[in-house]
A and B are shown apart, each in its own frame.
Chain A
Amino acid sequence: GQQVMQIPQYQHVQEGEDFTTYCNSSTTLSNIQWYKQRPGGHPVFLIQLVKSGEVKKQKRLTFQFGEAKKNSSLHITATQTTDVGTYFCAGGRQAGTALIFGKGTTLSVSS
């Protein structure tokens, strides 16, 4: 079945350093989404990418969708302690179909 892999599983950075997490799907996706889950919290929607090669920015966060629509990345510039949490990518083969989540990348930031 469809699988979504994320690397790295864990990342620790010093405050102010950059951070990148990568997401790879075994199949072509119709769209990919990114969620953030704070420790003890629930996933919160960050963004959805739909087009091949799409790049979107939200302040210090940059999201990319690969040309083949099978991979994606999330880059955070100059991390802050508020960025701590687990970042999940999730994709579906077709619009409206069940999302398959990756296992997430857990980011810790020390000041």
Chain B
Amino acid sequence: DAGVTQSPTHLIKTRGQQVTLRCSPKSGHDTVSWYQQALGQGPQFIFQYYEEEERQRGNFPDRFSGHQFPNYSSELNVNALLLGDSALYLCASSPWTGRDIQYFGAGTRLSVL
């Protein structure tokens, strides 16, 4: 049984570019949340998707957008990248009825130069 999988593992971009990160949830999970983890910090909630709709959103600008597909997988898009967007981006999945508990993927390490 595969856990949460994320791709790519690492990514290097330059300021102003756009990036798309991908996530496949754990089998049986229908809810996907995205977090940003800066170095030395705890994960910070970006948004959550269920039934292909954004259900909750944290304090992140509109440059951060997402999508959920019918198979529950999800994408995180970040436009007009800033140096401060460099971080580990974590995807977490859960069943909607037990969405308090987060099962994290290994993350995508994004470096913006």
Residues of A within 8 A of B (CB): 1, 4, 31, 33, 35, 41-45, 48, 88, 90, 92, 95-104
- Distance (Å) between the CB of A27 and the closest chain B CB? 15
Interface string of B83-113 (1 = CB under 8 A from A): 0000000100000000111111111000000
Task: Report whether A45 and B44 are in contact in the complex, using a CB–CB cutoff of 8 Å.
Answer: no
Q: Total number of A-B contacts with CB less than 8 angstroms?
A: 53
Could you list 12 A-B pairs, sorted by A, with CB under 8 Å? A31-B100, A33-B100, A43-B90, A43-B102, A45-B103, A48-B101, A90-B102, A95-B100, A98-B56, A100-B45, A101-B42, A103-B41
Task: Report whether B56 and A99 are in contact in the complex, using a CB–CB cutoff of 8 Å.
Answer: no
8 new A-B contacts, CB < 8 A, other than A42-B106, A98-B58, A99-B102, are A33-B100, A33-B102, A42-B105, A45-B102, A48-B100, A90-B42, A98-B45, A98-B56
Residues of B within 8 A of A (CB): 33, 40-45, 48, 56, 58-59, 90, 99-107
Cα distance A99–B33 in the bound complex, in angstroms: 10
Interfacial chain A residues near B101, Cβ < 8 Å: 33, 45, 48
Cα distance A23–B42 in the bound complex, in angstroms: 13
Cα distance A47–B42 in the bound complex, in angstroms: 17
